[in-house]
Amino acid sequence: MENAAYVGLSRQMTLRRELDIVANNIANADTTGFKVEQLLLGEEVGERARNAFVRPGVSFVMDNGVGRDFGQGALEQTSRALDFAIEGEGAFFALKDGAGDAYTRDGAFTLDPEGRLTTQGGAAVQGDGGDIILDPALGQVAVAADGTISQNGQPVGRLSVVRFDTLAVLEKGGDGLYRNASNAAPVAANDVQVRQSMLEGSNVNPILEITNLIEIQRAYESVTRMIENTNDLSRRAVERLGRAA
Amino acid sequence: MRALRTAASGMAAQQLNVEVISNNIANMNTVGFKRQRAEFQDLLYQNVERMGAQSSSQGTVIPTGIQIGAGVKAGSVYRVTEQGTPTQTGNRYDVAIDGRGYFQILMPSGETAYTRAGNFSVNGEGQLVTDDGYAVQPNISIPQDAIDVSISKSGQVQVITQGETEPQIVGQIELASFFNEAGLEAIGDNLLLETAASGPANVGTPAEVGFGELLQGYTEASNVDAVAEISALIIAQRAYEMNSKVITTADQMLSVAGQVKS
């Protein structure tokens, strides 16, 4: 077979995967705390499919990984006392659920029947000393920029906001959660601020995503045409050579 | 092609969003109504190439891996229990709660329901009831010869009867509060029911610690902000359109793939 067809095929496969990722970005354009992703492509020098006398290099397209943009999403005022947003990049609320530790940027918290602060999915929000228990009867919940929770002027706990030395250790777990896929320990993030009654929107840029979408589609079409042309070329070659013999 | 289903999940989520927003707008003038908010979460991720896996025998490690998400889902639709504006009505049986707490209502089934809508009236027996005729708990009976009724901030109901100068106490309105108000189940008619998620009701006297004060002659307006709802509607519509664009693109790419000549 021709190298060109295989090179084209490698691009088509990555384009499809790119489309899947762009579709996920757009579907989550309105998801609290969602971080946009893109496919990282690399050049992969491959073995040639045929042994030619002249040896030009062949490189295939490989998807090497998914890059996440942990940039700040827009803050939206919600006027709900248990909505929190982190202002500052790369830091997360620490959570604990049935599957262990989790981290999130989605601060739409609620109380469970025992007064424990949890996510909408039921994961317990962690404070400096474990779970945070609030008694709504004690009065309005106020949260300071450093995460200190107070009711009636009395501090009752502190939201634990953490970061990782490298964000590459985080794995998305769905439900707005990230899980630590390594044994790197999180450290307290003291340089970010917690904002009460605010939620962080996704950092998806709709215009960019739609442009990506068009680009993917056109690239897919042109690669398809290239494969067709290569195919035509070899068919014609076979026809003509066959005639000469 | 995964993109088709991903975009479909996005369209379904935005549709739900529009449903929630339209219910908020429809109930803009409902007494004691609390607006709702749809909260979205990303769906599961498929690990195409696991991060931290080795990419060669020399021990090179893939730094980020490839995770492809499967779209979006509605995480929850919760009530925003923010105070609504007290609106003066002049009706002496209208009571608004300024602060935390719910009125307790006895349902015909014997269950206790909870409400923030304090537009009460008096039934044929002189009992304080809701618009639907369900009795406010604990029972409060207004004597027939009462010429004036006053409800204090702390919920004491006093009447002045014909020929009397001293007001007479006929009852005490009590409020219920919950750990997780957002966990109450709405059953329509402005009524809410206790659930396992809300926790048990904690009954107390108005104006005490943890309970709001009562305002006679007022009702609590809904906390729907029309401008915020309309802008949310616009955002939902645009998001819906973008997702449909993804479906179109995925469809066209599939058709291109289907037309490749062999």
* ipTM for the assembly: 0.77
Confidence band, pLDDT 50/70/90 cuts, at residue B12:
very high
CA A222/CA A234 separation, integer angstroms: 18
Quickly list DSSP for A172-202: EEETTEEEE-SSPPPEE--SSEEEETEEE--
Residue B76 has a pLDDT of 85
Quickly list DSSP for A108-121: E-EE-TTSBEE-TT
Kindly report, residue by residue over B98-146, the tens digit of the pLDDT.
Answer: 988 999 999 999 999 999 999 999 998 889 999 889 999 889 998 888 8
CB pairs under 8 A between A and B: 220
Note which residues in 174-193 of chain B have CB less than 8 A from chain A: 177-183
* Closest C-alpha to B182, from B95, B100, B98: B100
Whether residue A37 and residue B69 make contact (CB cut-off 8 A), yes or no, is yes
Whether residue B253 and residue A138 make contact (CB cut-off 8 A), yes or no, is no
Whether residue B3 and residue A32 make contact (CB cut-off 8 A), yes or no, is no
B66 and A CB contact within 8 Å: yes
Q: Residue B262 pLDDT more than 60? A: no
Q: Could you tell me the residue ranges of all domains in chain B?
A: 2-81+224-258, 86-220
B222 and A CB contact within 8 Å: no
Residue B27 has a pLDDT of 94
Higher pLDDT, B105 or B64: B105
Whether residue A113 and residue B200 make contact (CB cut-off 8 A), yes or no, is yes
pTM across the whole model: 0.83
Confidence band, pLDDT 50/70/90 cuts, at residue B194:
very high
Q: Name residues of chain A where pLDDT drops below 50.
A: none
Q: Which residue is it, tokens 């025992």?
A: A114
What is the average pLDDT across B194-218? 90
Kindly report, residue by residue over A21-35, the tens digit of the pLDDT.
Answer: 999 999 999 899 999
B42 and A CB contact within 8 Å: yes
Name beta bridge partners: B227: none
Whether residue A228 and residue B260 make contact (CB cut-off 8 A), yes or no, is yes
CA A94/CA A180 separation, integer angstroms: 11
Residue B46 has a pLDDT of 79
What is the average pLDDT across B178-189? 88
What is the average pLDDT across B245-254? 90
Residue A121 has a pLDDT of 86
- Rounded to the nearest 10 degrees, what angle do helices A3-27 and A206-244 cross at? 160
Residue B7 has a pLDDT of 92
* Closest C-alpha to B182, from A195, A119, A96: A119
Kindly report, residue by residue over B220-242, the tens digit of the pLDDT.
Answer: 999 999 999 999 999 999 999 99
Does the bond joining B138 to the residue before it have cis omega, within 30 degrees of 0? yes
Q: Could you tell me the residue ranges of all domains in chain A?
A: 3-71+204-244, 75-200
> How many Å separate Cα A179 from the centre of its chain?
12
Q: Nearest 5 degrees, angle CA B125-CA B126-CA B129?
A: 100
Per-residue tokens: A200: 């962080």
Confidence band, pLDDT 50/70/90 cuts, at residue B10:
very high
B53 and A CB contact within 8 Å: no
Which residue out of A1, A18, A26, A196 would a mutagenesis test of the B interface target, given it has the greatest number of B Cβ atoms within 10 Å? Answer: A26
What type of residue sits at position B160? I
CA B177/CA B102 separation, integer angstroms: 6
Residue among B66, B68, B209 whose CB faces A24 most closely: B68
